[in-house]
Chain A
């Protein structure tokens, strides 16, 4: 017989329920391997637990014959308010409303672009003529057609030299403005600006605006540059050659 104390009932019940910690489990297994008395007590608690479970399990539970159907109906009813609220909520209308507005705006924009392209008043060339006429009527006005929108880069040279002769390889000149070879003449030039600049004649030759061979001294020339609404240059108009610096 073992001389050490037997396992208490708490440990035996925990062993029966599989709730022992690692250390407790080792101790209990070692003890039970050599203690018939504790094994008998363990069996007793096991039988007693089965008896309790049997009594608990014997409680009748067939009271609700239509309980399953009731639950199904209740679950279905629980889903209906959500569906109804989804129908009533304006969330689905908002995207439709926005989509309709967006479609209208797209149509209006599309027609505006088409009208602008086919309207002579929106043509870049005629705009350039108009701005050019403004400049001519006001010699003091320097290059910038729209004073309410200042231009960052503006070179003002007013020298009364002879105009430089030029021949553009990019196309015909309209009111003195020659389309730049890389510009897209189809783009609208509304809200355009005209900048007066001075450039080397060789630069114009390299750009294809002037076909004549530059002189040896590569003089400076004055030119008006027509800028589109996007800030990109559309055309250039040579004004006069400046003094060589």
Chain B
């Protein structure tokens, strides 16, 4: 299971409230998972870059305005999620095609230290699994990807504006659907 990251707002020192520092801390911690989440939402890399920048800038503005810091991680994902939805609803954005399998495997080998043999064995399954994730409903996919990023159900619920029970139901049905597709 992925690690459970605490939000910066929770683990930052009480007196350390400089917005710039908090934003940069969040950026170093969350920008990569955020890009992955956006990729699974169907956002292309360039648009994801713009969304990530905008999301962190909004976080900066939010903090400078004295906004709530109780769960900045969920706040950040929610902003990015809404920006992605806006992009997708606009005529200027297209859903990206299937993710680059080579890049996927390259990233996996770098991140997880797999050997070429293990990569080869997992390659087909990863392809199927990635395709199966793409075949899920939007809610199921979003819930499963956020869960894979280590989020608790209450955080996912806050990001997607769902109830906690709805998140649990989406996770369960998504997993069962993935299992059936593989």
Contact = CB atoms under 8 A, between A and B. Distances in A.
A1 interface: no
A67 B53 contact: yes
B177 to A, nearest CB: 12
Interface string A4-20: 00000110011011110
A58 B31 contact: no
B179 A48 contact: yes
Contact of B107 (A58, A68, A72): A58
Contact of A67 (B23, B49, B61, B125): B49
A19 B23 CA distance: 29
How big is chain B's contact interface, by range? 35 or more
Contacts of B57: 71, 74-75, 78
A58 B108 contact: yes
Contacts of B36: 56-57, 59, 61
Contact of A57 (B24, B111, B175): B111
How big is chain A's contact interface, by range? 20 to 34
A56 B178 contact: no
Contacts of A45: 175
A75 B36 CA distance: 23
B129 interface: yes
B104 A55 contact: yes
Contact of B35 (A14, A48, A59, A74): A59
A14 B168 contact: yes
A10 B104 contact: no
B149 interface: yes
Contacts of B69: none
B152 A60 contact: no
B48 interface: yes
Given A48-B179, A61-B35, A75-B57, A53 B1 contact: yes
Interface in B86-133: 99-100, 103-108, 111-112, 125-126, 129-130, 133
Nearest to A66: B49
A59 B103 CA distance: 7
A96 B144 CA distance: 60
28 contacts: A9-B175, A13-B172, A13-B175, A17-B153, A19-B164, A46-B1, A49-B1, A49-B175, A52-B144, A53-B148, A55-B104, A55-B108, A56-B133, A56-B149, A57-B2, A57-B107, A57-B112, A58-B104, A58-B105, A59-B35, A59-B39, A60-B104, A63-B35, A67-B52, A68-B27, A71-B27, A78-B61, A78-B64
Given A64-B52, A71-B57, 8 more contacts: A50-B1, A52-B148, A53-B148, A55-B108, A56-B40, A61-B32, A61-B107, A75-B60
